[in-house]
Structure 1
Amino acid sequence: MAESFIFSIAESLTAKLASRAYEEASRVVGVYDDLQDLKSSLSYVKAVLLDAEQKQERSHELREWLKQIKLIFYDAENVLDQVDCQTLRKQVVRAYGTPKDKRLDRVAANRDKFGLQTIAVDRRVVHRREMTYSHVIESDVIGRDHDKEKIIKLLMEPSLDNNDGSKHISVIPIVGIGGLGKTTLAKLVFNDKRVGESFPLKRWVSVSDDFNIKSLILKIINPLSDFASSTNAPGGQQNLIDLQIEQLQHRLRNMLEGRKFLLVLDDVWNEDRVKWVELQHLISVSAQGSKVIVTTRSQSIASMMGTVANSYHLKNLSPKDSLRLFVRWAFKEGEDGKHPDLIMIGREIVKKCKGVPLAVRTLGSSLFFKHEIQEWEAMRDKEIWNLPQKEDDILPALKLSYDEMPSHLRQCFALLSLYPKNHAFNSFDVAPLWGAAGLLPLQSKDKTMLEDAHQYLSDLMTRSFLHNVVDCGTFYGFKLHDLVHDLAVYVSKDVCQLVSSNTQDIPENVLHLSFVENGLPYNSIKTSLQGVRSILFPVDNQGASEAFLNAWVSNCRYLRYLDLSNSTCETLPESIGMLKHLRYISLCNNKRIKRLPNSICKLQNLQVLRLDGCSNLETVPEKLRKLISLQRLEITTKQSILPESDIAKLNCLEYLCVQNCVHLESLFVGTRLPTLRTLEVTASASLKSLPLDTHHFPQLETLGISGVVNEDWLYRSEDTNAVLRLKTIVLYKMVTLPHSLQRYASTLQTLVISRCYELEVLPEWLSNLSALKFLYIWGCPKLMSLPRDIHRLTSLHLLQIINCTKLYRKYEPQVGECWPMISHIKHTDIRKTWNS
């Protein structure tokens, strides 16, 4: 599977070699000519990589050739990274050899014997699913009655005229991940008697592989035109294909003129708005009230095509409906009553499917005619991806979306497999992981690493790969659906490895390791694992020991990402300063460590240093100013004074968190942090002052505050021109909201109020936040009500209330006594609990 990423690696290497920074660095260390040779060999082999990727399954020899190329690319990446290490530039040749030693030119010469074609741009052909049809047996569909009625209600609503007086065709997108039942729902609606009576003319068009206008016109004019290319097609249909598009569009317009028309476009992947607008213009001659239903996995496509207020996001089946569907596929009709013991196991099997109907069907049908308890238990205990899969089962359905993604996005998605299921991600943590792996574009003055990561997350979100997304304006929170997580594990199996007590072996040349259990044997390390670039301990209270550090970390000299969260080590080895490639190191929540070696300040590539939750840390390292690449710093320390002058010299610092520094009395009084964008200050009870103005924080956009009893320390300049232009404020564990938040009314777009357990009322001035787009209220059980004038928040796009008992009762959608006060808000998400 790793060979599917090889073109992306080649592109990354090419970009680095072409950059001025690498050219200058190579001249400094005397390897300029060698890098030019590498550039030439890389260009020669890169030209055929896309073709090789697509043909590798048919040739063992070609797979081996790609494996050799991949390993050479990894070595080349390490050499280029070493060139980029400021302190070791002159030692590159002596310690690691030159790029000419990497054998790329010799291995690349073998490309010609495979008959590979030159393909310069990644426009891979994705094999879409088979064409769909409109027929459905309604009694076979379970749990979609409510969804069906919702869509039919939208169909029956009158269409509105456009501003120019022209007719408006409403477009209703149905959005969701593969296998969720979008097509089935559209079929139920399409075949409903009420819909047939309301729309005299209906057409079902399976789009799937291409949004070709001529093809679409043919399918609308004649539903049988899918078969018109066969030699047995009737003459009339064959004649349609022979017509020019000008003649076809005349026929289409004549057919639709003045007739009320329903068009279903199933499985749309096209993101070219020009093509959609062209089709829209052609069908606009139909009668008032004509509608289009679109099924798609992409929210961006839904937004582009949709005209109703909200896309219809199809939800997962309930556990009860999932079990009913499972029984339907696992037993002959009426036989399930004979096997209550199997039904009990079936309940556990259904949990794997997480409400995705296609997964339920896949597992249920694989047990049809099998009535042995051992067979059912084996199914229960086996990962879904290890089961045999037919073309229309869940793995091909989900992997289709994965295969469609550009190669850089596939790599980023694969790295999410390093975290356990149900992990709560945020973009502040994902960005450095992707950045350390070299998957984000080369840094520029115009765009930060976080902004690049946001773009990639947005791309994944529009493809329905992210679940429970929370858009906080300047950062995202999200989860992965369990089946999507399984897909990430499946596609990354040669690159990423989750290590547990069940792990038999670790693949050679694996790049990323995630340790998900304590007490694993660390005393035997393979030579082949010295190239590991990422080590994580992502599970709470599962951390590294000193034995692990001694056995593993010092051997992995190319480490870029080292997450030692929840570790139990009392110190770090002095040799940590030798890990020159390191971009990220976290000692988050280590309760035992007291000091860090000063050698940590030799890590001039380090972008993230996390010391938050290190409650016994007596002092932060001296000479922090030497960490010239540091972008993010999180600190918990017993110090009463931080080394502010050093921190102020960190010219790349964008994110600063000061957490539980109980002895800290002041913070950055008279100190300026010109590049800081995010500041988080939590539970610092002794803190007496904090300057919050543009003189000290000219770029600050996001402010997080937790556990502040009063706001006296929130120093505010009297200069109105010095007011911060905050976009996001996150408040944790507050008893009241700081009155000073009013100062940001014209710029504040996102407000998060979380775990404020004693908060009873929201201030009425909250309604003055004229720019507010997103309001999140989580875990505030005593909060009684929202401001009476909440209707004044005319910019409010989303209101989310979760785990707020009293608010839920009053504002429950449709039935709560105060629901009318917020029903005008475009998006509302009001739930008793996170899982409701």
Structure 2
Amino acid sequence: MAESIVFDIATEVLTKIGSLVGRQVSLLWNLESDLRRLEGTLSSIKAVISDAEKKQACNDQLRDWLRKLKDVLLDAEDVLEEFEFQAPKREVVRQKRSTIRKVSQFFSSSNPVVLRCQISHKIKEIRERLDQIASDRSRFSLIESTPVEVRPVILKGRETDPFLGASCPIGREDDKEKIMSFLLQPTDNNVYVISIVGIGGLGKTTLTKMVYNAERVNKLFPLKMWTCVSDDFDFTRLMKEMIYSATREDCSKLKGDEIRKRLHEILTDKKFLLVLDDVWNEKPQKWIELKDLLVNGVNGSKIIVSTRSKKVAEIMSTGPSHFLQGLSNEESLSLFKKYAFKDGEGKDFPRLIEIGKDIVGKCKGVPLAVRSLGSLLYANTDEHEWLKIKGNNIWQVDQDNEDILPVLKLSYDHLSSPLKRCFTYLCLFPKDYEYINLHVAQYWMALGLLKTSDKNEELEDVANQYMIVLWSRGFLEDFLDYNVHWTFKMHDLMHDLAISMTESEFAFINVGSHKVDGKLRHFSHGDTELCGEEFLQRIDDNSRSVRSIVFPAAEKYGDARIIGSFIRKDISKFKYVRLLHLCSILFEVLPNSICTLRHLRYLDLACNDSLKKIPESICELQNLQMLRLYGCSGLRKLPNNIRKMICLRHLEIATQEEVLPENGIGCLSSLQFLYLCECNSLRSLCEGMQGLKSLRKLFLTDNPMILSLPDTIKYLTKLEALAIRSCPKINLKMELQGEDHELRLGLKKFIIKKLESLVDLPQLLLQASADTLKYMQIKDCGNLEALPEWFQNLTSLEKLEITRCHKLSSLPEGIERLTSLKELKIEGCPSLIESCRNDELKIAHVPVVRLIDE
């Protein structure tokens, strides 16, 4: 069993108290005694938390005691953090202030005496609650112990690359061919429906993906659509998702009958394949309503339905259903060995294989359970640990009850506390949600979930390691690498597991929700039609200590107009909120009250083309680490004092300004990621970019007026990725200066797309990164005629992609010197491809060469 989450939180609170005890401000505010007493009480409670965690499964009262303890610890974090924010600024009232100003401030909420009383009262209240919890522990006969620490270490080998292409899943080739035969056979039906039925975790979605992506299917169906239905058979949502899947169109402007009309246009006279994944709806009328929309396709159109319900299959299928069975013992063992042993076979561990046979025998052929346990035991050759898993009776599978969550929980229990908290947080987003690693890192960071003992390690890197470990343990899947970021998903059963672990802290609010009682910490707004007032009506006043408010549905379907009080004034009531995910919420003005959210670390306002104004008061949010203004094309200007946001690490900008504020973004020394997108009037970046001492990623997209990169970019010594797309006038050439021949940069990825003015690569940047540059992509650069002779100096380059650069006719001389080059992809460059085919020796040293004609 890994260390407990409650133990971990208690440790964090004690650390915060320790940092305050003995400081002048705690003495000045007469809080020293309360803080020391709080520290002593919590230390004694912390000693028995591990034992309480072990015994809670069989004791409801003990489980309630732990819940109350966790609740008071989270409240303590809020109060102590508030003290940390305010104390340095409020130690004394300055004597030089006039009497009138003193009197007015005395009756103000910012008065230091009033503030001191407020915080003092809150700390005393926390201490009293904790004293009661300490008193109650005597009822449980708890013993002092320390949990075993499990560090989220990344093992070498298989675990380090979640992007490797998945081969055909073990034991599913026959199933694939049966589904293919259904799809390929001619029918007279306008729409033919095939259902794949099986319990959770059998691999219905994986099987469907195998079929959906098959080359034979691509040739047979000109139009393909995929939508995850889940337990919300919302007619409007499904129509929008089908439109988006077919065309990648933004549906935010479509309303009512316009949605139906657009889908009708897309389907008319098309032979299509539609996947309805994970269907739960057992009401025939809802299916009939959807089916009536799908009759406009050409005869022979097909629909694949995946479901756990036989009744769903009976309602929807027009032909025989395919009932997916569990894997055989041999197939299960083969899958288990693939994940449990470094070599995928375990030939050197016959005893472990014998134990493994017993373990997979209890999994009843469910691939998700087999993979989860194999991943749990990966590279662990301790026979005792294997026997402990074999002898654990909590995860035995009952296929009739579709009960494999206990198996998954066994793997969850063996995660470290930070990984548990990071994993469960992802359930705030809906099933089949596509997570972006850059954003997930900021979610976790905003809530203080990331831990590292290395002061030199960036938290973004820690977050990426967490994601890879969670993938290696089977908690995340479907990783897709986009070179500058990656995406992933969660299996729906893993999503169910995460929800089951968070019931007392998380609430999912939609139109059908009742009022949410109790002190919950995280809210997910699950319905784009639910307006602000209705959202607030479902939240009990006790829940104003919420830390996250997330609107994930709006991000995908883009039609949420949160009206009334929520954005305008009630947002300020959530004073302890750390994360506001308001992507695609449409409103015109962000209120000044945003400045009262001093705990806020993450603010996502992206994809709001109605937003016109950001108040200057936002610059008071000096703890803000993430600000997304991507897609806010109506935003007139950025705040003048953005330089005051000293903790910003991730910034995405859209603005109508021609020039960025002087001494603005260039002063953000903590900034690691900067993305300028759709700044249609912007003529240049800030000249003082050398102030961005921590910047690691710079992305420029759809900025038609930017003429050049500033020379100061060459001083960004930590820059690792530079991506420039659709900036047709930009000039990448920089002036050489006397000291530049010794310039050393650390660029690892260089990506340019749709740069009409590009005639040469930026020599200064790339040669200065010759020892570090690993990936280069050059795409749709029609005026690039040749790669320079100095290209052969990029000896660290591992992957080169060149796409639709029609004037390129040959690779540069000396390319054979690029001995690190592992993959070369050339697509849509006729002359260049012909040259490579005629002179294969030039690239014979490259292990993977892909020459793709248009």
Q: Give the TM-score of the pair, scaled to structure 2.
A: 0.62
Once the two structures are superposed, what CA deviation does each residue of 1:138-163 show, in whole Å capped at 9, x if it has no partner?
xxxxxxxxxxxxxxxxxxxxxxxxxx
SS at the partner of 1:634? Answer: strand
Q: Could you tell me how far apart the structure 1 residues matched to 2:171 and 2:727 are?
A: 41
Aligned with 1:591 (options 609, 631, 635): 609
Once the two structures are superposed, what CA deviation does each residue of 1:532-551 show, in whole Å capped at 9, x if it has no partner?
11112232315452434247
Once the two structures are superposed, what CA deviation does each residue of 1:220-244 show, in whole Å capped at 9, x if it has no partner?
xxxxxxxxxxxxxxxxxxxxxxxxx
Q: CA deviation at 1:598?
A: 1.8
Aligned pair in 2 of structure 1 residues 591, 106: CA closer, same or farther (>3 Å)?
same
- Which aligned pairs between 1:233-632 and structure 2 lie closer than 5 A? 300=156, 302=158, 315-316=168-169, 321-322=174-175, 344-346=194-196, 352-355=204-207, 373=314, 390=398, 394-441=404-451, 446-469=456-479, 476-504=486-514, 506=516, 508-523=518-533, 524=537, 525-538=539-552, 539-540=555-556, 541-543=558-560, 545-547=562-564, 548-550=566-568, 552-632=570-650
Q: Could you tell me how far apart the structure 2 residues matched to 1:402 and 1:829 are?
A: 41
Aligned pair in 2 of structure 1 residues 28, 773: CA closer, same or farther (>3 Å)?
farther
How many percent of aligned residue pairs carry the same amino acid? 29
Aligned to 2:378: none
Q: CA deviation at 1:686?
A: 2.0
Once the two structures are superposed, what CA deviation does each residue of 1:162-192 show, in whole Å capped at 9, x if it has no partner?
xxxxxxxxxxxxxxxxxxxxxxxxxxxxxxx
C-alpha contact 1:31 1:98 (8 A) present in aligned 2: no
Aligned pair in 2 of structure 1 residues 21, 574: CA closer, same or farther (>3 Å)?
farther
Q: Could you tell me how far apart the structure 2 residues matched to 1:831 and 1:510 are?
A: 54
Q: CA deviation at 1:767?
A: 5.5
Q: Could you tell me how far apart the structure 2 residues matched to 1:390 and 1:631 are?
A: 47
SS at the partner of 1:588? Answer: coil
SS at the partner of 2:627? Answer: strand
Aligned to 1:679: 698
**AA matched with 1:58:** C
Q: Could you tell me how far apart the structure 2 residues matched to 1:51 and 1:800 are?
A: 57
Aligned to 2:45: 45
C-alpha contact 2:615 2:639 (8 A) present in aligned 1: yes
Aligned to 1:637: 655
Q: CA deviation at 1:70?
A: 1.4
More displaced stretch, 676-685 vs 636-645: 676-685
Aligned to 2:767: 743
Aligned with 1:724 (options 727, 737, 745): 745
Q: Could you tell me how far apart the structure 1 residues matched to 2:313 and 2:717 are?
A: 69
Q: CA deviation at 1:318?
A: 9.3
SS at the partner of 1:346? Answer: strand
C-alpha contact 2:476 2:490 (8 A) present in aligned 1: yes
Q: Could you tell me how far apart the structure 1 residues matched to 2:449 and 2:166 are?
A: 30
Q: Could you tell me how far apart the structure 2 residues matched to 1:316 and 1:829 are?
A: 25
C-alpha contact 2:656 2:680 (8 A) present in aligned 1: yes
Once the two structures are superposed, what CA deviation does each residue of 1:11-44 show, in whole Å capped at 9, x if it has no partner?
3223333347995664565533322222222211
Aligned with 1:95 (options 103, 114, 118): 118
Q: Could you tell me how far apart the structure 2 residues matched to 1:642 and 1:30 are?
A: 46
C-alpha contact 1:668 1:690 (8 A) present in aligned 2: no
Once the two structures are superposed, what CA deviation does each residue of 1:474-516 show, in whole Å capped at 9, x if it has no partner?
8654444455444434434443344334545546333222324
Aligned to 1:704: 723
Q: CA deviation at 1:120?
A: 1.5
Aligned pair in 2 of structure 1 residues 503, 5: CA closer, same or farther (>3 Å)?
farther
Q: Could you tell me how far apart the structure 1 residues matched to 2:850 and 2:175 are?
A: 24
C-alpha contact 2:706 2:729 (8 A) present in aligned 1: no
Aligned pair in 2 of structure 1 residues 795, 653: CA closer, same or farther (>3 Å)?
same
- Which aligned pairs between 1:814-825 and structure 2 lie closer than 5 A? none
Q: Could you tell me how far apart the structure 1 residues matched to 2:398 and 2:783 are?
A: 54
More displaced stretch, 611-620 vs 822-831: 822-831
Q: Could you tell me how far apart the structure 2 residues matched to 1:712 and 1:30 are?
A: 61
Aligned with 1:115 (options 141, 149, 152): 141
Q: CA deviation at 1:119?
A: 2.2
SS at the partner of 2:648? Answer: coil
Once the two structures are superposed, what CA deviation does each residue of 1:722-760 show, in whole Å capped at 9, x if it has no partner?
453322223344456851154245134343638749799
Aligned to 1:656: 674
Q: How many residues align?
A: 629
**AA matched with 2:73:** F
C-alpha contact 2:659 2:682 (8 A) present in aligned 1: yes
Q: Could you tell me how far apart the structure 1 residues matched to 2:679 and 2:308 are?
A: 57
SS at the partner of 1:672? Answer: helix
Q: CA deviation at 1:396?
A: 3.7
Q: Could you tell me how far apart the structure 2 residues matched to 1:824 and 1:398 are?
A: 45
Aligned pair in 2 of structure 1 residues 587, 776: CA closer, same or farther (>3 Å)?
farther
C-alpha contact 1:772 1:793 (8 A) present in aligned 2: yes
**AA matched with 2:690:** R
- Which aligned pairs between 1:74-223 and structure 2 lie closer than 5 A? 74-86=74-86, 90=112, 92-96=115-119, 97-102=121-126, 103-123=129-149
Q: Could you tell me how far apart the structure 1 residues matched to 2:711 and 2:792 are?
A: 23
Q: Could you tell me how far apart the structure 2 residues matched to 1:518 and 1:754 are?
A: 39
SS at the partner of 1:644? Answer: coil
Once the two structures are superposed, what CA deviation does each residue of 1:251-306 show, in whole Å capped at 9, x if it has no partner?
xxxxxxxxxxxxxxxxxx998xxxxxxxxxxxxxxxxxxxxxxxxxx8647579x9
C-alpha contact 2:759 2:784 (8 A) present in aligned 1: no
Q: Could you tell me how far apart the structure 1 residues matched to 2:586 and 2:308 are?
A: 46
Q: CA deviation at 1:344?
A: 3.4
- Which aligned pairs between 1:762-773 and structure 2 lie closer than 5 A? 763=787, 768-773=793-798
Aligned pair in 2 of structure 1 residues 582, 444: CA closer, same or farther (>3 Å)?
farther
Aligned pair in 2 of structure 1 residues 680, 342: CA closer, same or farther (>3 Å)?
closer
Q: CA deviation at 1:555?
A: 2.4
Aligned pair in 2 of structure 1 residues 603, 343: CA closer, same or farther (>3 Å)?
closer
Aligned pair in 2 of structure 1 residues 319, 303: CA closer, same or farther (>3 Å)?
closer
Q: Could you tell me how far apart the structure 2 residues matched to 1:484 and 1:672 are?
A: 44
Q: CA deviation at 1:470?
A: 5.7
Aligned to 1:149: none
Q: Could you tell me how far apart the structure 2 residues matched to 1:754 and 1:435 are?
A: 33
**AA matched with 2:686:** F
Aligned pair in 2 of structure 1 residues 793, 342: CA closer, same or farther (>3 Å)?
same
Q: CA deviation at 1:641?
A: 1.6
Q: Could you tell me how far apart the structure 2 residues matched to 1:828 and 1:48 are?
A: 60
**AA matched with 1:99:** I
Q: Could you tell me how far apart the structure 2 residues matched to 1:369 and 1:571 are?
A: 50
**AA matched with 1:688:** L
Aligned pair in 2 of structure 1 residues 300, 698: CA closer, same or farther (>3 Å)?
closer
Q: Could you tell me how far apart the structure 2 residues matched to 1:613 and 1:33 are?
A: 51
Aligned pair in 2 of structure 1 residues 670, 624: CA closer, same or farther (>3 Å)?
closer
C-alpha contact 2:709 2:731 (8 A) present in aligned 1: no
Q: Could you tell me how far apart the structure 2 residues matched to 1:369 and 1:348 are?
A: 8
More displaced stretch, 592-601 vs 442-451: 442-451
Aligned pair in 2 of structure 1 residues 32, 630: CA closer, same or farther (>3 Å)?
farther
Q: CA deviation at 1:72?
A: 0.4
